[in-house]
Amino acid sequence: MRIGRVRKKPNRLVRGIMKRTMLLLFWPVILSSLSMAAADIKLRVRHDHGIKSCQGEIIFGESTVAYETTNKKHARVWKYQDIQQIGLLGPKRLAILTYEDRKIVFGKDRVFNFEILDGEVNEATWIFLEKHVTKPLVSEIIPAGVPVKYSIPVKHLKGWGGTQGTLEITDSFVVYLTAARSDSRVWRYENIGSVGSTGPYQLRLTTMERVNGEYGGEKNFIFDLKERLNKEAYDFIWWKLNGPGISAVP
């Protein structure tokens, strides 16, 4: 009768070395997968159709923005370059302006308006999208801890009324802070087309905002100032907008 050889099991030390070796080999793959998963921002939302609505999930990824819903007519996947503008209009509201035509309103571009049901838009969302969008981001989410050089109490004029708040001028941004819903803004200087004033108690900022579906490519923010405009503050904004171009002239 033949007696087969008995295979010896690796001892505990050998098994430990083998496990550590396998972990070292696959750890970069695991980390890469985790970082990719962590990069996505997911928010459960309600998409407003005007009369009706549907629910789903907005996913901000590395290369695309997706609206996943069981309503296939409204489900979408956009590359960032195919989005005209994203508006972060408060912790519970966001809008995505697309290049889709709305034939019933003479070709006006389609805006997808979302109410956030679970989670919220916050500074982390703003930071993530600032790195990914290809056009200016409209944001009511104000980055924290930015040193303010000039602060001006103002009223933002809007059609039949307006909102009251504070215009803050910093090295990197111009910020309008107000308690009014969806009217606070933060603008990078490169996203402001021009600045102007008709007198010491008025200031105009022309911005690249189109998230509300305007036909043109710019939107004016007109402010009534509650105190005389500081010439140094105006010159500071003007130079931030125009100085780089002037300095570049040989």
Structure confidence by residue, pLDDT tens digits, 89-126: 999 999 999 998 877 666 678 889 999 999 899 999 99
pLDDT the model gives residue 125: 94
For 86-95, letters b (16+ CB in 10 Å) and e give: bbbbbebbbb
In angstroms, the CA 76 to CA 97 distance is 13
Non-local (6+) Cβ contacts of 228 within 8 A are 200, 201
pLDDT the model gives residue 32: 46
All structural domains of the chain: 41-139 (2.30.29.30), 148-248 (2.30.29.30)
* Strand 83-88 versus strand 93-102 pairing type: antiparallel
Q: Does an H or E element contain 43, and which? A: strand 41-48
pLDDT at 37 over 90: no
User: 26-30, 37-41, 107-111 — which is least confidently predicted?
Assistant: 26-30
pLDDT at 242 over 90: yes
pLDDT the model gives residue 91: 92
Percent helix, strand, coil in the chain, to 5, is: 25, 40, 30
Q: Mean pLDDT of all residues in the chain?
A: 84
User: For tokens 């912790």, what's the residue?
Assistant: 91
Give the mean model confidence (pLDDT) for residues 144-164.
93
In angstroms, the CA 194 to CA 238 distance is 8
